[in-house]
A and B are shown apart, each in its own frame.
Chain A
């Protein structure tokens, strides 16, 4: 094999893409954190260092995979971040903007590489490089001497410090903090936990500059560490906090006594007595400590899994469910033929156990696919930041329920629609500052995103406090585009629904922000693809609110199996509200639409046989059933001949050629190897709503 370079396998490429995405995601979160601290004052050095390390890792990875645009971009970013963390340049708002922009560009490159569509526009990358370099050339004046020289420190320790650690040490010296060398001895078997605990505790007392494993005493049972700590406290104060067996050695300053912070250190090691005391948050470093512990965990205790593998697992679980129902049928036959004794009884017991375990397994597999909405919301905050800056408006994003979890695939599919809604809200909804002032509203507009789980669904609301939809304008445009007749008189609700029609836009000129040739119709389609629906409310002068209702998962669902003309269909149970029996005479009609008076409301009806043009032998049975389905406030009664039973199903795609059939979400297999179609309730309801309008 010697002689040629290793080919990059598709698997390795995939791994690279997903790690790069992860790094960018983390970078984004850290930049946002930096942004918040930026406003609050002190910048957390650990966050800054983590950002630097992320750029550094990206550079290395991109280099291995020969993605030169990404390598150079990450390299220039790394240079800039290095100067930032070493305090050679100052973090300003515009620098932060530049960082966010480069991150976006990196994200796009990864996206393209992942789709096999190139690796970014080289011109765009070049422009970014020039801007990054320009930002780096603005220098902060540097002190003439190296502050570390003021400290009496073991050259051996200096020898292993990275440049960054050296910088943190000098910063601590410049801030006139005491520098302590903390020496601790741990049992080999448990040192990881003990060291973690000690580091966490030290972070509440100051800054941990470095942790050095000490190799001096080679012991089979113990390991020793030296930790450099920069702190306001003297060794006696530290000693009162730390556990027994930890020694504290203050490092002396060489310069004049007045430069020595506090009482002079003796330079001698001082053995501590006293018990461990849990005290936290002395300088607000608690958060930093938890972050550090959290990040360590995420690196070592998570496994990255291809979603296809999870799909496969889910299929297996589904198929096991089928086997189970077959076994169940066999059990029923045994019961019928031999009575509820002996083997039949035994089998029944086993089957119940199997049911429980299977349900458990299914839940666990589903749980693995769940990710918090935070991932999407973080991206949105970046968008809000950028767009509000570009449009000169002041906008604040408030997020609630970021921990709400959804299936990974749904989360992925949600990013674009939510992005679009937020863009629209800033572009069309939130008013410019003078207009807000005139309306005696706060200058800063607010976009509030709220997510919450409701049963098997997640509801996401995007609410702005802007000017609301202009109903007159919507009507004008709809007439202009011949979407409605000129004399139509529509209720506000119906007017609002018009914005979801293809080709509808009220802006005369597309703006850079939301005019990307994508309208609300696409947003609606994307949501429908996720088996969700979207709804809108708006009040003039007070703002608009989009609500999305989405299923938690698409992978495995409970379904009601129904029949029409001898064919079976599955109706997802999460949209079924109730089932009714119906005699033909109860069916009424309003404007050629069949309806049913259901309590105080009129329920539009849809005959499944007519919807799918099934051939019926003879008349419809006198007695049939109505499955009432609903999404948000819309209801529809689906007329079927027979209700069969409830079953867990795995929805499978029908393949490319059949995937766009209206009213069908996919196919599924039933226990007796019968394959049936699954109804797409969202699109059936939508068709019925359209017909009425």
Chain B
């Protein structure tokens, strides 16, 4: 069964870029949501294998989402990659402290994102993606 990935970003263009980067890596079941709020709604019903989230979003921000996932015993195992526009070290430190696995800044290098996704989904064997 293909891995399920949740992509959270309020910019539809950014979501398209993220999705197409993921699609180049392999076949995944990808769900896109445009706010932390929608992500929560999705998480209340489904358990994805990986989450990619932006930080600056209206309502529930990415940090709050990370905190929610990482403090929830049923979800804390889901690897979480923050992909956000650089705002100094503050967000990076906070995000990682809250338990996010990775932190990537926009503009992101698709290859780096693919490598991180492959690493956390255990796809390291995929051609050309090993360390």
Contacts and interface: CB of A to CB of B under 8 A. Distances in A.
B59 A296 contact: yes
B53 to A, nearest CB: 13
B40 A57 contact: no
Given A64-B106, A160-B98, A218-B74, A3 B128 contact: yes
A213 B40 contact: yes
Given A2-B111, A159-B97, A210-B64, A12 B58 contact: no
A64 B58 contact: no
Interface in B30-55: 34-35, 37-38, 40-41, 44-45, 55
B78 interface: no
A162 B13 contact: no
B129 to A, nearest CB: 6
A513 to B, nearest CB: 36
A60 B106 contact: yes
Contacts of A541: none
Contacts of B12: 15, 19, 304
A220 to B, nearest CB: 9
Contacts of A3: 111, 128
B69 A296 contact: no
Interface string B68-89: 1111111100000000110100
Contacts of A19: 11-13
B13 A15 contact: yes
B102 interface: no
A160 B94 CA distance: 7
B121 interface: no
B64 A300 contact: no
Interface in B91-127: 91, 94, 97-98, 106-111, 114, 127
Interface in A57-86: 57, 59-61, 63-64, 66
A61 B11 contact: yes
A159 B34 contact: no
A50 B106 CA distance: 19
Contacts of B16: 12, 15
B56 A53 contact: yes
B11 A223 contact: no
Given A2-B111, A162-B61, A211-B59, A223 B44 contact: yes
Nearest to A222: B44
Given A2-B128, A213-B40, A299 B34 contact: yes
B20 interface: yes
Given A2-B128, A5-B110, A299 B35 contact: yes
Contact of B64 (A59, A212, A304): A212
A295 interface: yes
Contacts of B128: 1-3
Contacts of B97: 159
Contacts of B94: 159-160
Nearest to A13: B13
A191 B106 contact: no
Contacts of A188: 44-45
B63 A160 contact: yes
A64 B67 CA distance: 27
A1 B67 CA distance: 34
A546 interface: no
B24 interface: yes
Given A59-B85, A160-B94, A213 B10 contact: no
A274 B111 CA distance: 56
A138 interface: no
Contact of A300 (B34, B68, B107, B109): B34
A64 B18 CA distance: 11
Given A162-B61, A299-B58, A215 B69 contact: yes
B109 A57 contact: no
Contacts of A6: 20-21, 24, 110
A657 B105 CA distance: 50
A57 B17 contact: no
Q: How large is the interface on A (under 10, 10 to 19, 20 to 34, 35 or more residues)?
A: 35 or more
Contacts of B35: 296, 299-300
A53 B58 contact: yes
Given A213-B64, A296-B35, A163 B90 contact: yes
A216 B127 CA distance: 41
B90 A215 contact: no
B54 to A, nearest CB: 8
A273 B84 CA distance: 42
A504 interface: no
Nearest to A295: B58
A210 B85 CA distance: 21
A162 B91 contact: yes
A467 interface: no
Which of B71, B84, B91, B97: most chain A Cβ within 10 A? Answer: B71
B60 A211 contact: yes
A223 B40 contact: yes
A101 interface: no
A14 to B, nearest CB: 10
A589 B21 CA distance: 73
Interface in A284-323: 295-296, 299-300, 304
Contact of B71 (A66, A216, A296, A304): A216
B129 A61 contact: no
B107 A211 contact: no
Contact of B67 (A15, A16, A63, A212): A212
Contacts of B72: 215, 218
Contact of B17 (A64, A162, A296): A64
B56 A162 contact: yes
A57 B68 contact: no
A191 B98 contact: no
Contacts of A213: 40, 60, 64-65, 67-68
Nearest to A186: B44
A642 interface: no
A615 to B, nearest CB: 57
Interface string A137-173: 0000000000000000000100111110100000000
A258 to B, nearest CB: 34
Contacts of B111: 2-3, 5
Contacts of B69: 215
A259 B69 CA distance: 37
Nearest to B97: A159
Given A53-B56, A56-B56, A61-B13, A160 B44 contact: no
B110 A160 contact: no
Contacts of A161: 63
A296 B36 CA distance: 11
Contacts of A165: 61
A334 to B, nearest CB: 51
A12 B45 CA distance: 31
A616 B73 CA distance: 89
Nearest to B11: A57
B63 A162 contact: yes
A686 B125 CA distance: 73
Given A53-B58, A57-B85, A300-B35, 11 more contacts: A19-B11, A59-B85, A63-B106, A63-B107, A162-B55, A192-B41, A195-B37, A213-B60, A213-B65, A218-B72, A296-B35
6 contacts: A5-B111, A56-B85, A60-B106, A64-B108, A192-B41, A216-B71
Q: Closest 8 A-B residue pairs measured CB to CB?
A: A60-B85, A215-B72, A215-B71, A63-B107, A2-B128, A213-B68, A60-B106, A160-B67
